Amino acid sequence: MSPDIPDVSTAKTRPHSAIAPVGLLVLVLLPLLLMPLAAIFIFAFEGGLSTFITALSSPDAVFALRFSLFIAFATAAVNAVLGTFAAYILSKYRFPGERPLGIVVNLPVAIPTVVVGTSLLLLWGPIGLLGKFLGKFGLEPMFTPFGVLLAHLFVTFPYMLGSVKPVLDELETTYEEAAYTMGASRWQTFRYVILPALRGGLFTGTLLTFAHSLGEFGATVLVSGNLRLRTQTAPLYIFAQFEAGNVANANAVAAVLAVLSFIIFFFLLQYTGGQGRRA
Amino acid sequence: MAIVLDRLSKSFGAQNIVDQVSLEIERGELFVLLGASGSGKSTILRLIAGLTQPTSGRILLNGRDVTDLPPQQRGTGFVFQNYSIFRHMSVSDNIEFGMMVQKVPKPGREAKRDELLDLVGLTGLGDRYAHQLSGGQQQRVALARALAYEPNVLLLDEPFGALDVKIRERLRRTLKDIQGRLGVTTILVTHDQEEALNVADRIGIVEHGHLLEVDRPEALYARPRSLFAATFLGAGTVLVGRAHGGRAHFGDFSLPVPDDMLLTEGSRALVLFRPEHVVLSSEKPQSDLPLIGRGTIIGQNFAGAARRLQLRLPLLKSTRQIAPPLPFGEEGLLVEAVLPAEVGMDGQEVWVCLRGWHILNHPKPRLLLYDAGAGPATTLNIGKHLMDRLNASATVLGVTDESEAGLDLVAALRTQKEVDLSLAVKCLRYGLPAEQIACEYAEALYEMVVVAVDYEHKTQPERLRETVQGVLAMTNAAVLVVKKEPEKYRRMLICTATHEAGKNNVRVGGRLARRLGIPATLLHVASGSDSAMRFARNHLHLAAATLRAMDVSNNIHIRPAMNPVEGILAEAREGEYDLIVVGSHGPGSRPPFALEDITLQVLAEAQQPVLVIPAEEV
């Protein structure tokens, strides 16, 4: 080919041609995603490292972070069991009303979390449908750590189900049947054959549940009563401190939450990336 | 006996997947269940393993009744087509799994595992995972895993189906070798006849949930008892002729009928001959081998060691070819021969003789007579007449939706039985007629459904139409609708259109005409354009050739008419036909603008019996 004729066929793949569209994308994302995230860290360390550490070591902040982590662990643990159970039932059994049930268990993703909080209050709260009677026995689930856990279980339930069920659907029944013919009981089959096959789904589901529980605000603010040192989670603490004008305190906790989320996200990416390579 | 199946049945809803299967398998035997997909062979295997519960019947493994035991307590080793190797376990852990859950101590487990790895030829691969193994290796693991806990019986469900040909052959030999060495009783399910002939000690042929025939591979290939086995296993030609004076006649040549076979004078006889039994010679042979005739070579396939030849021979008098099926419009006989590859055939014309053959019994056609309950005499007369003419067996079916009416029907059926004892099988079902006819048809595979209507009964035509429509929509049965019993079936009118379904009308109608021994007229109603006429003429000539090959004398007629229904009815009146054959659009597909389907209009208007042929081949 003579040098003065431009090579049209490779023009598209020239590296400099990507600069314009990629630049445009970054420009759009900058104020939308990147700058706000940066702002948290800038503000958190505005007064220097010592201010940051002081803000974090206040009893309220420590409690809020520890409580949030505790609730997130508890939610992930309970939903790992509950979600797997639901996924197993929905995947392996055929029954009338299967489709409606499948929709109902996924509903929490679609409902605004504030509505979830309201509905829980209307059921378990002091004037709620069930709460009215429970109150007579001195049981008040709302405005307690248990109430918070309840809200978080509700809101994050579909994430576990959504991660585990597709894996179960893919797993052919012949694996179970092979185990049965070899003498394995139902439980042994579940323990040694099905559960290990679910590892990936369980891991993803647990991380997703954990992350969502850590950041949950809408339902928590209603059912917790936002009681400091009793039911105040980290996001509630951030909001309360902001409202009270203590921006530094809010930012410090927000920065910690952001870092935790990054770590979870990193593991999720690692795992799903690894899956992609293996497949 | 290692495995005994005693009248084992399994049905899903109204469908019998496995129907009254009885079988005894000896210790150490390698038994192959051979059948097409959907024949129920895999279900039989699953029933033995306990993965599916039988509807009725018993299963004995090594003399122990396991019918009600869960799969865990049956001690069967099962190998699936998809291998089902546990992906998160190493090969060793997979093999040890059965022993682990059965609490075999670790040292024993490891020794057994190493022995099995060696046996299946995977020594040193114990630490690998499924995704590091080829399909063939995975299936070897599955085999080792199923043998690890020393099962009573080994069950293999299409184990080599997903592998390519070379590996399949090697694994087959490995399996046969291991099975022989361990002496474990084995059942292998396959649709691959070559695989069955290769490995089996005995083969059982399964069709529509029935175990048709059980025998050694050699015997099954050389002397099948059923037409299905003859055509399913191996290649070959099957001709239908007639028995006279202890010989089966096929045109000008005849073959002796074996003494143990009882063929009544004049009844139909079948002959099967394999390609390797066909002898070809360019000179007219002087030997005393039966000579079929002089044929033309129409095709050759070179297949390595052998050369397969396709030959066309002129039609033999009063003889029809069943297998291989003739293409539409084919008038001659098509015969396949096999020669060593190095033998060349000079010229196109050769003399064709037989040096081996096998005479089969012809199965009796089966009729399903639907009894609408109102006019028992009509159904009975028609049934009796058809049974006599076709030499058929029949089942009389009564359907009712109320239990009290059911009792009446039972009484009516009982009186029928007294009138004619040859209508041996009676059957009563509850529900909607169309659905119940469809169920009965699906279960027992009748050749034809006969629906009789008492014309004096005012309410019947409407109900009957629904029933016929329902049966046509739900089954691919040929349905004969009889309003008035003709004194005699003398002439048949076959209405045929130029599409695939029209060809089916000719084949099925022709079969009935041949059995009744009556001539047929092929009718095409055309609306007039020249190209349509040419097309129709061409179609009718092919149809006529097809009928001639079936030994049915016929003539063709193109009738110009705008409305096909009027054309058909006018022709039926003028020609004094006793039987009209029309096609149906088949389940679910009706032309979008037809206010009233042609088939249903003909049914409503015609006085003669009408045979409705489904769109798909019966």
Residues B122-164 have pLDDT tens digits of: 999 999 999 999 999 999 999 999 999 999 999 999 999 888 8
Residues A165-206 have pLDDT tens digits of: 999 998 889 999 999 999 999 999 999 999 999 988 999 999
Sheet containing strand B278-281, edge to edge, reads: B278-281, B349-354, B291-303, B306-313, B333-340
pLDDT for residue B6 = 94
Alpha helices by DSSP H, B191-327 = 193-199, 217-222, 227-232
**ipTM of this complex prediction, to 2 decimal places:** 0.75
B217 φ, ψ to 5°? -55, -45
- By the 8 A CB rule, do B233 and B200 touch? no
The single-letter DSSP state of residue A190 is I
Task: Check CB contact under 8 Å for A183 and B146.
Answer: no
Angle between helices A247-278 and A48-57 (to 10 degrees): 90
pLDDT of B379 over the 70 cut: no
- By the 8 A CB rule, do B135 and B162 touch? yes
Residues B549-606 have pLDDT tens digits of: 888 888 888 888 878 888 888 888 888 888 899 887 655 444 444 445 778 788 878 8
In chain A, the percentage of residues whose pLDDT exceeds 70 is 92
CATH of domain A48-278: 1.10.3720.10
Task: Check CB contact under 8 Å for B82 and A174.
Answer: yes
Angle (CA) B468 B470 B475, round 5°: 95
pLDDT for residue B594 = 45
When scoring B12, B72, B109 by the number of chain A Cβ atoms within 10 A, the one with the most, hence best to mutate, is B72
Angle (CA) B72 B77 B82, round 5°: 110
pLDDT of B375 over the 60 cut: no
Contacts of A81 (CB under 8 A, 6+ apart): none
Contacts of A50 (CB under 8 A, 6+ apart): none
Chain B neighbours among A 148-187 (CB < 8 Å)? Answer: 172, 174-175, 177-185
Closest Cβ–Cβ partner in B50, B84, B102 for A174: B84
Q: Find the largest Cα–Cα distance for chain B.
A: 91
Query: Hey, which residues does B557 pair with through a beta bridge?
Result: B523
Residues A211-263 have pLDDT tens digits of: 999 999 999 999 998 888 899 999 999 999 999 988 888 989 999 999 998 88
- By the 8 A CB rule, do A215 and A257 touch? yes
Task: Check CB contact under 8 Å for B71 and A278.
Answer: no
pLDDT of A7 over the 60 cut: no
Strand B30-34 versus strand B202-207 pairing type: parallel
Lookup result for tokens 């992930």: A76
Amino acid found at B30:
L
Task: Taking the CA atoms of A262, A264, A266 and A268 in sequence, report the sign of the dihedral they define.
Answer: negative
- Tell me how far apart the alpha carbons of residues B466 and B547 are, in angstroms, rounded to a whole number: 32
Closest Cβ–Cβ partner in B49, B88, B101 for A183: B101
Q: Is A265 helix (H, G, I), strand (E, B) or coil?
A: helix
Please give the average per-residue pLDDT across B255-274, as a whole number: 82
Mean pLDDT of chain B: 84
**pLDDT class of A2 with cuts at 50, 70, 90:** very low
Closest Cβ–Cβ partner in A174, A188, A278 for B101: A188
pLDDT for residue B447 = 80
Task: Check CB contact under 8 Å for A188 and B87.
Answer: no
Domains parsed from chain B with CATH numbers: 3-222 (3.40.50.300), 235-361 (no CATH), 366-469 (3.40.50.620), 492-613 (3.40.50.620)
Q: Is B524 left (phi over 0), alpha (psi -120 to 50) or beta?
A: beta
Closest Cβ–Cβ partner in A172, A184, A278 for B101: A184
pLDDT of B498 over the 90 cut: no
Chain A neighbours among B 150-209 (CB < 8 Å)? Answer: 151
From chain B, the residues in CB contact with A181 under 8 A are 49-51, 71-72, 74, 76-78, 146, 151
**pLDDT class of B404 with cuts at 50, 70, 90:** low
From chain B, the residues in CB contact with A196 under 8 A are 86, 88-89
Residues A140-154 have pLDDT tens digits of: 888 999 999 999 999
Chain A neighbours among B 366-425 (CB < 8 Å)? Answer: none
Reference B214, options B26, B364, B373; nearest CA is B26
Strand B56-61 versus strand B30-34 pairing type: unpaired
Reference A12, options A21, A4, A25, A3; nearest CA is A21
Could you state, in order of their start, the residue ranges of all structural domains in chain A?
A: 48-278
A98 near B CB under 8 A: no
- Tell me how far apart the alpha carbons of residues B343 and B335 are, in angstroms, rounded to a whole number: 18
From chain A, the residues in CB contact with B75 under 8 A are 183
Angle (CA) B474 B479 B480, round 5°: 160
Where is B186: in which H helix or E strand? strand B185-190
End-to-end CA distance of chain B: 39
Task: Check CB contact under 8 Å for B70 and A184.
Answer: no
- By the 8 A CB rule, do A202 and A100 touch? no
Q: Which two tokens stand for residue B591?
A: 């032309």
Residues A79-121 have pLDDT tens digits of: 999 999 999 999 988 889 888 998 888 888 889 999 999 999 9
Quick one: closest CA in A to B147, which residue? A182
- Tell me how far apart the alpha carbons of residues B507 and A91 are, in angstroms, rounded to a whole number: 47
From chain B, the residues in CB contact with A190 under 8 A are none
Lookup result for tokens 């009965």: B440
From chain B, the residues in CB contact with A199 under 8 A are 88
Angle (CA) B157 B163 B166, round 5°: 125
Please give the average per-residue pLDDT across B103-110, as a whole number: 93
B103 φ, ψ to 5°? 60, 40
Task: Taking the CA atoms of B279, B283, B289 and B293 in sequence, report the sign of the dihedral they define.
Answer: positive
When scoring B45, B76, B78 by the number of chain A Cβ atoms within 10 A, the one with the most, hence best to mutate, is B78
Please give the average per-residue pLDDT across B1-21, as a whole number: 89
Higher model confidence: residue B370 or residue B373? B370
Instruction: Looking at the complex, report in whole angstroms how far the Cα of residue A94 sits from the nearest Cα belonging to chain B.
Output: 15
Query: How far is C-alpha B586 from the chain's CA centre?
Result: 20
A183-206: buried (b, 16+ CB within 10 Å) or exposed (e) per residue? bbeeebbbebbbeebbebbbbbbb
**E strands of chain A, at which residues?**
none
pLDDT of B268 over the 90 cut: no
Residues A47-83 have pLDDT tens digits of: 788 888 888 899 999 999 999 999 999 999 999 999 9
In chain B, the percentage of residues whose pLDDT exceeds 70 is 88
- By the 8 A CB rule, do B74 and B68 touch? no
The single-letter DSSP state of residue B438 is H
- Tell me how far apart the alpha carbons of residues A227 and A221 are, in angstroms, rounded to a whole number: 10
pLDDT for residue A14 = 56
Where is B142: in which H helix or E strand? helix B135-147
pLDDT of B429 over the 60 cut: yes
From chain B, the residues in CB contact with A193 under 8 A are 86
Q: Which two tokens stand for residue B285?
A: 């042979």
Instruction: Looking at the complex, report in whole angstroms how far the Cα of residue B75 sits from the nearest Cα belonging to chain A.
Output: 7
Distances (CA, A) of B440 to A172, B369, B449: 34, 11, 10
Instruction: Looking at the complex, report in whole angstroms how far the Cα of residue B65 sits from the nearest Cα belonging to chain A.
Output: 17
Q: What is the 3-state secondary structure (H, E, C) of B312-360?
A: EECCCCCCEEEECCCCCCCCCEEEEEEEECCCCCCCCEEEEEECCCEEE
Least confident of B158-172, B202-216, B319-333: B319-333
B455 near A CB under 8 A: no
Task: Taking the CA atoms of B132, B136, B139 and B144 in sequence, report the sign of the dihedral they define.
Answer: negative
Instruction: Looking at the complex, report in whole angstroms how far the Cα of residue A223 sits from the nearest Cα belonging to chain B.
Output: 42
- Tell me how far apart the alpha carbons of residues A62 and A253 are, in angstroms, rounded to a whole number: 9
pLDDT of B533 over the 70 cut: yes
Say what the pTM is. Answer: 0.76
- Burial level of B376, CB count in 10 A (0-12/13-18/19+)? buried
End-to-end CA distance of chain A: 42
Please give the average per-residue pLDDT across B531-558, as a whole number: 86
